[in-house]
Amino acid sequence: MLFSSTQERIGEQTQYVAIINYEVSESFVQLIDNSGSLKVVNINMPPDESIRNGTVAVVLEIPKDFDQRIKNEQLVNITIYYDASSRTSTIAYSKIMQVLGMYRSDVVDNRLESREIDPKILQPLRVFAENVATEDEVSGYMLSLILPPLLAIIVATGGMNAAIDLTVGEKERHTLEALLVTATSRRDLITGKFLAVVTTTLLSIAFIMLSLSGSVGYLSRLQIQQMEIYLTLQTSIIVFLILTLMAIMIAALGMAIASFAKSFKEANNYLTPMLFIIVILSFGSYGISIDDVGIIPFLIPILNVTLVIQEVLVNNFNAIHMLVTISSTLLVSMIMIIIASWIFHKESVLFRA
Amino acid sequence: MIIIQNLTKLFGKFKAVDSINIEINKGEIFGLLGLNGAGKTTTQRMVSTVFLPSKGDIIVNGNDVRTEPAKVRKSIGFLPTEVGLYDRLTANEVVKYFGILNDLDEQEIDERIKKLFEKLALTEYANKRCSKLSRGNKQKVAIARAIIHEPPVFIFDEPTSGLDVLSSRAVLDFTKQCKAEGKTILYSSHLMNEAEEICDRIGIIHNGKILKTGNVKELVKEYGKLENVFISSVRGEKS
Ligand SMILES: Nc1ncnc2c1ncn2[C@@H]1O[C@H](COP(=O)(O)OP(=O)(O)OP(=O)(O)O)[C@@H](O)[C@H]1O
Ligand SMILES: [Mg+2]
């Protein structure tokens, strides 16, 4: 699956780690630094802030008498700060856990050997792990991945079909001319059609979201491993509003393309590749970890919508991402509306021979 | 009622209509006669404001199509060649929808539909879906839709094409009745006997040019029948 490759890629990437009291144990810093894909850096802010603003993925806190305690065979407390809603942080967390696990068994082995005891006596069992996460948990996790592109694609296909029907459809049924000679102006005609396309699309989204929250309503705050999905009334409304914007853009795009076409067949010839691109853009979010993306993906229509929805669903709301997404969507919509209405006023395009 | 001056329509470099002049008086039926591709539809579309003229002027009921297209549209009822109804709507609904698009209020629309459907013998089909109607009844619905706003000018583009004898007869009789009520009608056709029966005057259009215009009665007196006028005009042009 696409997602696991993202996970692998984050796994290969280097994550930054800060260690509180790092100066007391050079060997511990070396241990983390030499583990391969973790790098120890300094921070000048509290651990939680440093993680949230992305300076580091995790922060470790070791006691001031770390080396002493190890030597004296005393218990050592280590605190790990991490962000469960961030993929990068979660992955760094599990890497740290691995390194610490190995470190622990090394320490134990050393201690046993110094007493001339075979370390194997401490391993009477070998354990095989089987995932027993319930289906709800997994589906909650899957939902945060699948829902955004799915919703985007539903909006796209619904909007395109309505746009075709209301524009090329009028040409094919030969009803367009009759419409054009009524007292209603062309501007009003295209506005009416545009609103009709947007409304039908929104109805289909509303239906999907209602049935979704009906069936997964009880899972409203699903938790799986460290990932949560927030499908509350509030997030549903935000998602709906973002999709409304996208519906406006798709309606305008569909109408611009479909008004140009002479027949259903021709319109489909244009819109099929268009839909293909939309699907690719929608699933483009799978190749991107929302924790460490720059602003550029949020300038790309559709992709930005799925990313923002994903952010909302994992409660990782980012006002700038939202603003950029809204602006870019509105800009594309406006351009498409201008093109569509230009076509409706341009007889040589509307009545292409 | 309709003044067409020096009217030209270009599609790219192709002249579909070439400097034509026609004047149509109030209360008359003017027949625009021509072969396929002669330029009848293109001319009628320009008069109806669907197309903008490339050159020349059209004044309909005192309104210029270029500067006052909205007023022109209020003055005309345009029946395109293709019936073009919405299959899933009933006859009644289609006409009502266009009444609304023409800014009529609902009560007025209902009264007019009742009257029109009676005149067109459509009353019993009023609540049938358009997809279920015969070709002839579809054309009658299209006529009702075109004139629901009771304009003074009708523009009919080959209204009997594809109809059987009885339906054609009904359409012709209806057209004559409208004329008797004072309507001005621009009627296109390639059927000479039909034109001879209902038109007061005709214009023969060929390759975008008007070859001949004249009073039907006078032309028939001179040539025996309209067909002869047409054939000799078109042949003369070719040779
Ligand atoms: N939108 C258009 N673009 C390019 N050429 C066109 C367009 N509409 C019509 N034409 C051309 O203009 C010419 C006149 O067409 P028009 O439809 O006016 O003829 P017509 O007299 O109505 O013929 P018919 O009896 O077939 O309806 C034809 O050669 C046609 O191909
Ligand atoms: Mg024609």
Contact B52 A183 (CB under 8 A): no
If one compares A84 and B33, the residue with the highest pLDDT of the two is: B33
Contacts of A184 in chain B (CB under 8 A): 101-103
Specify if A97 maps to a domain: yes
Which ligand 1 atom is nearest residue B43's CA? 18
Ligand in closest contact with the CA of B18? 1
A265 and A186: one domain?
A: yes
Task: Write out the DSSP string of B82-101.
Answer: S----TTSBHHHHHHHHHHH
A194 and A341: one domain?
A: yes
Report the CATH superfamily, name and number, of domain B2-235.
P-loop containing nucleotide triphosphate hydrolases (3.40.50.300)
Contact A178 B145 (CB under 8 A): yes
| A316 pLDDT above the threshold of 80 | no
B239 lines ligand 1 (CB under 6 A): no
| B99 pLDDT above the threshold of 90 | yes
Q: In 3D, which of B48, B55, B77 has the Cα closest to residue B8?
A: B55
Looking at residue A205, what DSSP letter applies?
Answer: H
Count Cβ atoms below 10 Å from residue A170 Cβ, excluding itself: 21
A104 and A151: one domain?
A: no
Mutant choice from B14, B82, B100 vs A, greatest count of A C-beta within 10 A: B82
Partnered with residue A9 across adjacent β-strands are none
Q: What is the pTM of this model?
A: 0.73
A12 and A161: one domain?
A: no
The answer to whether residues B234 and B211 touch, using CB atoms and an 8 Å cutoff, is yes
A101 and A155: one domain?
A: no
Q: For A145, list phi and psi in degrees, rounded to 5.
A: -90, -40
Give the contacts of B158 (CB within 8 A, at least 6 positions apart).
B40, B81, B188, B189, B190
- CA of residue B69 to ligand 1 center, whole Å: 22
A185 and A279: one domain?
A: yes
| A279 pLDDT above the threshold of 80 | yes
| Helix ranges (DSSP H) in B3-134 | 40-47, 69-75, 91-101, 106-119
* pLDDT score recorded for residue B239: 44
Interface membership of B80 toward A (CB under 8 Å): yes
Q: pLDDT above 90 covers what percent of chain A? A: 14
Contacts of A348 in chain B (CB under 8 A): 11
Contacts of B70 in chain A (CB under 8 A): 183, 185
Specify if A128 maps to a domain: no
A236 and A329: one domain?
A: yes
A110 and A143: one domain?
A: no
B107 lines ligand 1 (CB under 6 A): no
Whats the size of chain A, residue-wise?
353
ipTM: 0.91
A76 and A139: one domain?
A: no
Q: In 3D, which of A46, A50, A58, A45 has the Cα closest to residue A17?
A: A58
User: Distance between CA A290 and CA A308 in Å, rounded?
Assistant: 9
Per-residue model confidence as pLDDT tens digits over B14-29: 999 999 999 999 999 9
Partnered with residue A208 across adjacent β-strands are none
Q: In 3D, which of B49, B47, B55 has the Cα closest to residue B18?
A: B55
Interface membership of B171 toward A (CB under 8 Å): no
User: Distance between CA B78 and CA B66 in Å, rounded?
Assistant: 17
Contacts of A166 in chain B (CB under 8 A): none
Distance from CA of B220 to the nearest CA of A (A): 35
B 99-158: CB under 8 A from A? 101-103, 142, 145-146, 149
Across B162-169, average pLDDT = 93
Contact B101 A179 (CB under 8 A): yes
Contact A174 B80 (CB under 8 A): yes
Across A216-230, average pLDDT = 49
Secondary structure (3-state) at B17: strand
Structural domain that includes position A26: 2-122
Across B86-112, average pLDDT = 94
Contacts of A191 in chain B (CB under 8 A): none
Distance from CA of B47 to the nearest CA of A (A): 10
Among the candidates A95, A122, A149, a domain finishes at A122
A353 lines ligand 1 (CB under 6 A): yes
A283 and A331: one domain?
A: yes
Q: Which two tokens stand for residue A27?
A: 């060997």
Specify if A130 maps to a domain: no
The rounded Cα B104 to chain-centroid distance in angstroms is 22
| B6 pLDDT above the threshold of 70 | yes
Per-residue model confidence as pLDDT tens digits over A90-110: 888 888 888 888 888 888 888
Rounded to the nearest 5 percent, the helix, strand and coil shares of chain B are 45, 25, 30
The rounded Cα A97 to chain-centroid distance in angstroms is 26
Across A283-310, average pLDDT = 83
* B169 confidence band (pLDDT: 50, 70, 90): very high
Per-residue model confidence as pLDDT tens digits over A133-169: 555 445 555 677 788 888 888 888 888 888 888 889 8
Which ligand 1 atom is nearest residue B40's CA? 21
Q: In 3D, which of B184, B75, B92 has the Cα closest to residue B137?
A: B92
Among the candidates A122, A154, A186, a domain finishes at A122
Q: Report the CATH number that the domain containing residue A106 is assigned in CATH.
A: 3.40.1710
Residue type, A130: E
* A6 confidence band (pLDDT: 50, 70, 90): very low
Task: Write out the DSSP string of B105-168.
Answer: -HHHHHHHHHHHHHHTT-GGGTTSBGGGS-HHHHHHHHHHHHHTT--SEEEEESTTTT--HHHH
Quote the number of domains for chain A: 2
